[in-house]
Amino acid sequence: MAGDILDGKGFAAGLRRKVADHVARLREVHDVVPGLAVVLVGDDPASHVYVRNKGKQTIEAGMHSVEHRLPAETSEQELLALISTLNNDPAIHGILVQLPLPAHLNADVVINTIDPSKDVDGFHVTNVGLLGTGQKAMVPCTPLGCLLLLRDRHGDLSGRHAVVVGRSNIVGKPMANLLLQDSCTVTIAHSRTREIEALCRSADILVAAVGRPRMVKGNWIKPGATVIDVGINRVPAEETGKTRLVGDVDFDAAVKVAGAITPVPGGVGPMTIACLLANTVTACSRIHNLPEPEDLTV
């Protein structure tokens, strides 16, 4: 029997509706409009598409949206000056610098210049430390989306063995921290991990965040496990001669073994922008010392 397909697209639509309700309440009751500023440096076509989608969904949720598109040759000083202006702008509650940055810009320096209370990506070292020590943090959007899907599926996650494949600062590490906070037993795997297939087969929850198309095979999955596929990989589509998106998991084989699995596209991807909007409302509530919506973060 095939596993259930976790509908990230539908869940994300529900989350965006909740965000819009909270935005309407903030506006009506407190005369506050959450504002998100997205900064894009350079002309990476994929990044331009992401930024356009973020702006569109921010406006649809009733929020204030600002986009700064800067040329690829922007200096670090110019970028840091813009971030400083946004840090001091009372109409802005969330600042996101689209990654990757051009090679001459140091992403760590840039991210750590953002006011941590406005760091809706959750990448500032202060937020990383707060999350790692179990304190109230801004939580990175993609792992937050994965955790919301897992909680929706299972409720209590405690005691489950979670294997996270990938140890990036953006996905793997914060995902592991969140699962640990929810009392999973967590193992992080990476490119040097030995016997990764057997390790994955021991997972009740398997999160793949690798960036290698269909790396995780059906026989790497424990029967009945929940599989979260974060990967977004563009591969040639033999049927059409064009390209299509696939995850880090071999979906067709995995769905026959797993208890539940996220598809690509339509799984984790849509959750990421929805969580960005949710984080902007959370940041806005915290900055204004207003009660924080409980259903938008963890």
- Active-site residue list: 54, 98, 121
Bridge partners of 26, per DSSP, are none
Token couple for 98: 């689209």
The residue count for binding ligand NAP (CB under 6 A) is 25
Query: What is the three-class DSSP state of 270?
Result: helix
H-assigned helices in 161-246: 172-181, 196-201
Of all residues in the chain, what percent are helix, strand and coil, respectively (each to 5)?
40, 15, 40
Residue 175 binds ligand NAP, judged by CB under 6 A = no
By CB under 6 A, name the one of 63, 176, 230, 278 that touches ligand NAP: 230
Work out which of 269, 276, 280, 282 binds ligand NAP, going by CB under 6 A. Answer: 269
Scanning residues 19 to 58, which ones bind ligand NAP (CB under 6 A)?
Answer: none
Contacts of 45 (CB under 8 A, 6+ apart): none
- Nearest approach, Cβ of 222 to ligand NAP (angstroms)? 18
**d(C-alpha 137, C-alpha 94), whole Å:** 14
Can you read off the two tokens belonging to residue 285?
Answer: 């509530």
**Cα 142 to Cα 272: distance, rounded to the nearest angstrom:** 5
Of 280 and 285, CB closest to ligand NAP = 280
Residue 77 C-beta: closest distance to ligand NAP, Å: 27
Minimum CB separation from ligand NAP for residue 38, in Å? 15
Among 157, 163, 186, 210, which residue interacts with ligand NAP (rule: CB under 6 A)? 210
- In the bound state, the residue with its beta carbon closest to ligand NAP is 168
Q: Is 192 in the site for ligand NAP (CB under 6 A)?
A: yes
* Chain positions contacting ligand NAP, by CB under 6 A: 142, 165-168, 170-172, 189-193, 196, 209-212, 230-233, 268-269, 272
